[in-house]
Amino acid sequence: MKLLDMTRKYGNATYEYPFAPYDVADGFRGKPEYDYDKCIGCTACGVACPSNAINVELNEAKDKLVWKFDCGRCIYCGRCDEVCPTNAVMLGSNFETAVRFNKEDLTESAELELECCQNCGKKFTTKRLIAYCIENFKKVGWSESVIQEKTKYIKTCPVCKKADSVELVSKHFSKGVKK
């Protein structure tokens, strides 16, 4: 009787969930949500993810960048959310992540188009990342000639950049050698 009196006085102390939806608190760290349209393929989330739940790598044919997420490995730390420059991956409010029978249902993936190096023609980064950089060059107010110069630089793969630097340094030193 005493218990019934207390229930009547204070109401229910528990939630109806799972018979009714449960509203999570602000700042709740739920399942990371991925927005393909915002992703530029910078790979920052894959580098930051401590549990390898996110991997960003080239496909077998090396002609696409593949963003992969395995919710079964996620520890909800939020590092991907913190480092993503475009908010393409953010912790959401979904906590109901159980799947039936097939672990593949815990995964999701997306492919991004690659850009070719203007020197050697090898695919090396995403088209979206190049476009994102150019957009930001414009935002900082650089002149057209500077933007063109920077664009040329970012459209060159690391191997060709290295070769260009070596050539430049060699030229510089050969000028200084007395005959």
Binding residues for ligand SF4, rule: CB under 6 A, are 32, 39-45, 48-49, 51, 53-54, 56, 67, 74-80, 83-84, 86, 88-89
Neighbours of 55 (CB within 10 A): 16
Q: How far is the CB of 173 from ligand SF4 (least distance, A)?
A: 39
Strands in 123-126's sheet, in edge-to-edge order, are 54-58, 64-70, 107-116, 123-126
Q: How far is the CB of 34 from ligand SF4 (least distance, A)?
A: 6
Q: Which is nearer to ligand SF4, 139 or 179 (CB)?
A: 139
Give the C-alpha separation, 13 to 135, whole Å: 53
Give the C-alpha separation, 70 to 86, whole Å: 21
Q: Which is nearer to ligand SF4, 42 or 157 (CB)?
A: 42
Q: How far is the CB of 79 from ligand SF4 (least distance, A)?
A: 4
CA distances from 26 to 2, 62, 65, 124 (A): 36, 41, 34, 40
Neighbours of 147 (CB within 10 A): 15
Q: How far is the CB of 170 from ligand SF4 (least distance, A)?
A: 36
**Stretch (H or E) spanning 131:** helix 127-139
Q: Which is nearer to ligand SF4, 74 or 133 (CB)?
A: 74
Q: Which is nearer to ligand SF4, 6 or 99 (CB)?
A: 99
Smallest CA-to-CA distance from 65 within 77, 57, 73 is with: 57
Q: Which is nearer to ligand SF4, 7 or 51 (CB)?
A: 51
Q: How far is the CB of 88 from ligand SF4 (least distance, A)?
A: 4
